[in-house]
Amino acid sequence: MIGKLVMVDIPDPQLSEATRIHLSRFQPGGIILFRKNLIDAAQAQNLVLELKALLGNDLLIAIDMEGGGVWRTNFLPYAPSAMNLGASNDPALARAIGALVGRGLRSLGINWNFAPVLDVNNNPANPVISDRSFGENPKQVSALGMAWAEGLMEAGVAACAKHFPGHGDTHLDSHLALPTVTRNLEGLEEYELVPFRAAVAQSLPSIMTAHIIYPAIDPDFPATLSKKILTGLLRERANYQGVIVTDSMGMDAIDKNYGRGEAAVLSIQAGADMIEALGSQASQEKTFLALEAAVQNNEISKQRIEESLARLQKLAQRFPIAPLEYSQNQQDLDSKTMQAAWQRGIVAYQNPSLPELGTNLTLLVATEEQSHNVSELGISGSSLAAALGNLYQLETILYDHKNPLAALELLQNTKHPIIFASTSRRRLSEEVKTLVKAAHPTLHLALWNAYNVLDVPAPALITFGYRPEAIAALLEVLRGQAQITGQAPIQL
């Protein structure tokens, strides 16, 4: 039964014979789906039901559908990012959006969403959280995050608070390195831990761990592997009774420092209930075999396994895999609701003056934005130009991230006011900042990382995201058809 404490991903949109054999052999208790697995609603629903038939009624099928840049389907309405909702600061709206996210997932049969993010983002250099956080105020993050989670669960999908005890105050991405948060315990209690205490108080059914070292609590192990944190702090001190699931053990913070199998054993010993063993079937096998060996060697007790199995079974029975109808008419209505929510979260920075419709403008924007670990592909420069071309007589200058300064010559030839659009999840590179400084833009459209307004010498409109509904909302603002009412939930 140790396999039931493991979640894996699968390589394709269909179950190959090799994948079926692998899953049947190890009997994982959870499957997580990514964009690679999802083509359209019918295919996704069929895949979910096939997995349930293969692995049983207590299967947990998870996904990362946070909103904004972390969104695994391209056929469901796009929800606002958490920071966009933070800018409107309306728990009722957050709850409504959570419910719409849940409705889409429930239609596919997916019963566990790894959201909301309860990290309090107070570090402008944070490379992985940023717009995924509701903001930098712990009480605001608590109120909005809990409302969003309640809406999701009302729709029949389990919520998961992440990343405990907090990933907001880091300058490293745990996909690539092992970060440390040096705040003392008192500081953690007053800041990072506030939203997670709310999650415990409201009996949120699951919490995900962070691959981060917190020396004030445990100087030796990251939270995912720390008994002091998972058992001592979360189970015993906070009296949390729900499921503890790890973040992906394939992330370099764990894989390069501890190894897949060894880390899985340490995490179960520390108090985790489910291990995210993502990656190749060979790497997944290392996790299963290491856990089996630990049981045989009495490194993991039968009681410890039974405790986790009981929690996981309770979660699966509360949120069963049971797809519901989601009509096209309802999807269209939900998309309009999402767009209205995106619009409410747009923020004006330094009193921007909006260009008159039909004027001649030059748009400076990156050619494309690649996906980065957890986030999906960003908006392309040509797509943004096509949208803005409906409003203005537009000339477009595209730059490549590999050599942005090559666009300097094109800038010298333009005679029109310049709009710069930042479309990157990350902060601007020094080369791009040099390019933008030379451009002297009159307006900055910050379409992903809001902290980029700190690097651009121009007033800005901040959307906290670039999805189709976000761009449609931005166009409404630029047309003068919508008021700008959002307030940045971070210091800028």
Residues 262 and 127 in one domain: yes
Q: Please report which confidence band the pLDDT of residue 491 belongs to, taking 50, 70 and 90 as the band edges.
A: very high
Kindly state whether residue 336 falls inside one of the protein's structural domains. Answer: no
Range of the domain at 106: 2-318
What DSSP string runs through 98-141? HHHHHHHHHHHT--EE---B------TT-SSSGGGSS-S-HHHH
227 and 360, same domain (yes or no): no
Residues 271 and 165 in one domain: yes
> Within this chain, do residues 297 and 409 fall inside the same structural domain, yes or no?
no
Nearest to 145 by CA among 73, 215, 213, 97: 97
For residue 98, give every residue at least 6 positions away whose Cβ sits within 8 Å of its Cβ, in sequence order, or none.
116, 147, 148, 149, 150, 151, 152, 154, 155, 159
Query: Is 90 exceeded by the pLDDT of residue 340?
Result: yes
| DSSP element (H, E) containing 25 | helix 17-26
How far from each other are the two terminal CA atoms of the chain, in whole angstroms?
Answer: 50
Per residue in 296-320, pLDDT (tens digit) is 999 999 999 999 999 999 999 999 9
On whether both 139 and 280 belong to a single domain, the answer is yes
Banded pLDDT at 389 (limits 50, 70, 90): very high
Cα dihedral 33, 36, 39, 40 sign: positive
Q: What angle do CA 409, 411, 416 make, to 5 degrees?
A: 150
Q: Are residues 312 and 363 both part of a single domain?
A: no
Whether residue 232 lies inside any domain: the answer is yes
My answer on whether 238 and 358 are in the same domain is: no
User: Is residue 403 assigned to a domain?
Assistant: yes
* Total count of domains within the chain: 2
Q: Rounded CA gap, 49 and 108, in Å?
A: 9
Residues 312 and 356 in one domain: no
How confident is the model over 190-230, as pLDDT tens digits? 999 999 999 999 999 999 999 889 999 999 999 999 999 99
394, two tokens: 């537009």
- What pLDDT, on a 0 to 100 scale, did the predictor assign at position 260? 83
In sequence order, the 6+-apart residues with CB closer than 8 A to the CB of 20 are 54
Distance separating alpha carbons of residues 407 and 385, to the nearest angstrom: 16
- Of the pLDDT bands very low, low, confident and very high (cuts 50, 70, 90), residue 179 is confident
Asked if 152 and 58 sit in the same domain, the reply is: yes
CATH number at residue 358: 3.40.50
- Looking at per-residue pLDDT, the higher value among 41 and 178 belongs to 41
Question: Would you state the pLDDT for residue 373?
Answer: 60
Paired tokens of 128: 């992985």
Answer for the pair 206, 116: CB distance below 8 angstroms, yes or no: no
On whether both 240 and 284 belong to a single domain, the answer is yes
CA-nearest of 353, 338, 349 to 71 is 338
Share of the chain above pLDDT 70, in %: 96
Residues 213 and 359 grouped into a single domain: no
Q: How far apart are CA 404 and CA 327, in angstroms?
A: 44
Angle between helices 91-108 and 41-55 (to 10 degrees): 70
**Whether residues 213 and 310 fall in one domain:** yes
Q: Annotated catalytic sites, by residue?
A: 175, 247
Confidence class for position 370, pLDDT limits 50, 70, 90 = low
